[in-house]
Amino acid sequence: MIVNYMISISKKSLIKILILSVFILCITSLKAQSLNEIDKAITIKIDSIITLLTVEEKIAMCHAQSKFSSTGVPRLGVPELWMSDGPHGIRAEMNWDNWNYANWTNDYITAFPALTCLAATFNPALSKDYGVSLGEEARYRKKDVLLGPGVNIYRTPLNGRNFEYMGEDPFLASTMVVPYIHGVQQSGVATCVKHYALNNQEHSRGHINVEVSDRALHEIYLPAFKAAIIDGESWSIMGAYNKFRGEHCCHNQILLNDILKDKWRFDGVVISDWGGTHDTDQSIYNGLDIEMGTPSNNNISKRFPYNNNFLGQSFLDKIISGQVKESILDDKVKRILRLMYRTSLNKDRPFGSINNKAHSNTAYKVATEGIVLLKNKNTLLPIDNSSDLTIAVIGENATKSMTTGGGSSELKAANEVSPLKGLRKRFKNANIIYSLGYSSENKTKKDKLNLKKEAISIAKTADVVFFIGGLNKNNSQDSEGADRQHYNLPYNQDELIESIAKVNKNTVVVLISGNAVSMPWRNKVMSIVQSWYLGSEAGNAIASVLNGEVNPSGKLPFSFPKKLSDNAAHFYGKLSYPGNGETQYYKEDILVGYRWHDTKSIKPEFAFGYGMTYTSFKLSNIISDKKTYNSVGTIKISCKVKNTGDVTGKEVIQVYVGKKNSKVKRALKELKGFKKISILKGGLEKIEIKIAVDKLAFYDEKISDWNVEKGDYIIYVGNSSDNISKQIPITII
Ligand code: GLC
């Protein structure tokens, strides 16, 4: 009887499930059909507009009319395209035709943390929130194209722009960039993923010719761009300044036509970097759609000073003379019109919003989740903010603005909480004494000595010292246009830290930077916190982590080599970095970052994927669902994670894969999956990470395609690239 009863229930529920799934199927196919219909309708409109445009009007749409806009067609109501930096917030308004700010009083914005911080969260859901907030601010500021995100791979710790990017691992950058793009574009603002490609240094960026193998190109330097275009569906992409195999990336046949437009089926717009266009024929034929920033004569009294662009008068002359088919021009204009229908001509796009609590909360959450706890001897941290301690805060970075400077990603923040301000707000009962300690400005030797003496004197009497230093956005620090000149901390911070640690054992070093630095004082201080350029909420986030309001959960998105020569790019000398002024060779090939450290057994100061917590976690039951897989299967790794400490915390379980006895050169292991999970104190959770077997493929230069090598692999499961809890052998047949 009961069995019949159970069968009848299961029958009913089965019928319900069937009806529901048919309903969902209909909806999705209706939705897909309607999207298809919309796409078809837009294509019809685009084709009809093309017939109404004169050749001059079409040419004008393919280049700038001002520093940050390209031309529309007023007589037909075809709008201009308005673009704005940058990846971490909407840049202040610039003048029409020069690089000065317009000094508007209504272009203050929320400064979000730099993308290294976002990558360090290892939290794709947070990346979506980030993109949504940023897109709303871009929309409110009436921008159609946001010039970001940047996803160039971190190859050398000296690159001035690493702070704008998402670290050294292509899988991490690929996973984190997609939700960011979806978030921004849901406000009807196009992202412009950059700098495509191989712009991995600022040194001679405008002309350096990068030589790299196809394998490293496809396995290391392109994946984040491919994910941005195919999975993120970015509506535009920015060419890089440098050359690749002899052609500038802004008009490069291999990168733009063969890979981007043909292989990846990109239907958006290729925009040059500002001043990155150098040749008319290459611009016409090699995939460039909009030329921006080519130096004009800066004289707006002359009509169309931008007509001397490579895609300007000389392009027009070639069309009129019949030397170039008009269909080449039409393809560019159709792409631009499609971008407009996705943005400025999209009548359904929202209004956006700016400087609101939601955006500040997003900035704060990303900042607190991105901060990485690197060392915490005797669990000195967190410091209870109810205590009436004397806290010495030392260092210029405790007060220096980090949203200004750094090049095109600089911001005019409506609000920026400095670390000192955040600490004073949070540690209300403490006696906080501040001392500059060092200065990035020119000081006499005497002044520098006095700064140091004053810092040491307050350190002596304090219960605990928060040294807040690192790099900054000054030239040849973390800044566009130039690389760092050396690997250690600038302004004699190393010496100052050692002197402070000598007089106070409770020294906490907080580094604010976008790059790795050497740490000769590592064993002399109690705690080390890697903070990033955290934007408007910087001080609140740092204070929350130092007092334990937030339990740190960030993981390093790039390795910290002990010394510069331990880094792959620097191991191979000048021809590898920075090149000979004309060309540079990526001799380390696929062994970038931890791939190099692991495979060459060079222990880093701190490893990719490393980050501590105020609690502790234990992994158990780490298993794969099978031992053998075929090349189209999915590997399921599951494990249990127990919070063995006494505070709630978040952990990032990382899954790396390595091929044993490969027929080609391979890194020991490569990140292929990760999951961040929050667990209550004493809690136990089970997680599962899926990896498609085809993601284990290497790029086979013999067939110019991906190839899943059969044979034995090892699955490495842990919470850092250098802390593996279990190795699981599997076989691909
Ligand atoms: C700069 C940067 C690019 C920026 C553009 C506009 O040179 O390389 O990232 O978006 O010009 O400012």
Full-model pTM: 0.95
Q: Which residues fall within 8 angstroms of residue 179, CB to CB, at 6 or more apart?
A: 124, 125, 127, 128, 131
The pLDDT of residue 6 is 45
Q: Which atom of ligand 1 is nearest to the CA of 85?
A: 10
The 8-class DSSP code of residue 124 comes to H
For the Cβ of 85 lying below 6 angstroms from any atom of ligand 1, the answer is yes
With CA atoms as reference, report the closest residue to 154 among 181, 131, 120: 120
For the Cβ of 273 lying below 6 angstroms from any atom of ligand 1, the answer is yes
For the Cβ of 598 lying below 6 angstroms from any atom of ligand 1, the answer is no
Topology of the domain comprising 617-732: Immunoglobulin-like (2.60.40)
HSE-up of 51 (CA within 13 Å, CB side)? 5
Is the CB of residue 605 less than 8 Å from the CB of residue 232? no
> Of 84, 88, 99, 147, which is best to mutate to test ligand 1, by the most ligand atoms within 8 angstroms of its C-beta?
147
Distance 673 CA to ligand 1 centre (A): 32
Report how far apart, in Å, the C-alpha atoms of 317 and of each of 52, 82, 153, 160 are: 20, 27, 40, 40
Query: In terms of DSSP bridges, do strands 81-84 and 145-146 run parallel, antiparallel, or are they unpaired?
Result: parallel
**If the chain, 733 residues long, is cut into consecutive pieces of 10 residues, what is the mean pLDDT of each piece?**
47 68 64 75 96 97 96 96 98 93 98 98 98 98 98 98 98 99 98 98 98 98 98 98 98 98 98 97 98 73 68 96 98 98 96 98 98 97 91 98 98 98 96 98 96 98 98 98 98 98 98 98 98 98 98 98 98 97 98 98 98 98 98 96 97 98 97 98 98 98 98 98 98 97
Q: Which CATH architecture has domain 357-599?
A: 3-Layer(aba) Sandwich (3.40)
Phi, psi of 651 (to 5 degrees): -125, 150
Is the CB of residue 206 less than 8 Å from the CB of residue 250? no
For the Cβ of 205 lying below 6 angstroms from any atom of ligand 1, the answer is no
For the Cβ of 184 lying below 6 angstroms from any atom of ligand 1, the answer is no
Distance 654 CA to ligand 1 centre (A): 34
Distance 161 CA to ligand 1 centre (A): 11
The pLDDT of residue 23 is 66
Q: Which residues fall within 8 angstroms of residue 314, CB to CB, at 6 or more apart?
A: 280
With CA atoms as reference, report the closest residue to 472 among 397, 531, 543, 399: 397
Atom 12 of ligand 1, nearest CA residue = 408
Q: Which residues fall within 8 angstroms of residue 291, CB to CB, at 6 or more apart?
A: 62, 63, 64, 250, 272, 277, 283, 309, 310, 311, 312
Atom 5 of ligand 1, nearest CA residue = 274
Is the CB of residue 577 less than 8 Å from the CB of residue 565? no
Please give the structure tokens belonging to residue 594: 């931890």
Report how far apart, in Å, the C-alpha atoms of 399 and of each of 162, 424, 541, 545 are: 22, 12, 14, 18
Instruction: Report d(CA 130, CA 148) in Å as an integer.
Output: 13
The full set of domain ranges for the chain reads 357-599, 617-732
Is the CB of residue 706 less than 8 Å from the CB of residue 640? no
Q: Let me know if 285 is exposed, middle or buried by CB neighbors in 10 A (0-12, 13-18, 19+).
A: middle
Give the largest CA-CA distance in the chain: 96
Which residue type occupies 456?
A: I
Distance 165 CA to ligand 1 centre (A): 14
With CA atoms as reference, report the closest residue to 310 among 332, 336, 340: 332
The pLDDT of residue 713 is 98
Instruction: Report d(CA 488, CA 468) in Å as an integer.
Output: 15
Instruction: Report d(CA 271, CA 237) in Å as an integer.
Output: 6
User: Is 262 labeled as catalytic in the residue annotation?
Assistant: no
Instruction: Report d(CA 363, CA 315) in Å as an integer.
Output: 44
For the Cβ of 408 lying below 6 angstroms from any atom of ligand 1, the answer is yes
Residue 31: count of CB within 10 angstroms of its CB: 10
HSE-up of 83 (CA within 13 Å, CB side)? 32
Please give the structure tokens belonging to residue 477: 């620090």
The pLDDT of residue 370 is 98
Query: In terms of DSSP bridges, do strands 684-692 and 634-643 run parallel, antiparallel, or are they unpaired?
Result: antiparallel
Which residue type occupies 646?
A: D
Distance 408 CA to ligand 1 centre (A): 6
With CA atoms as reference, report the closest residue to 424 among 393, 396, 380, 469: 393
Q: Which residues fall within 8 angstroms of residue 431, CB to CB, at 6 or more apart?
A: 388, 389, 390, 391
Please give the structure tokens belonging to residue 67: 């520093």
Is the CB of residue 139 less than 8 Å from the CB of residue 349? yes
For the Cβ of 147 lying below 6 angstroms from any atom of ligand 1, the answer is yes
Q: Which residues fall within 8 angstroms of residue 636, CB to CB, at 6 or more apart?
A: 624, 625, 688, 689, 690
Q: Which of 273, 289, 566, 598 is catalytic?
A: 273
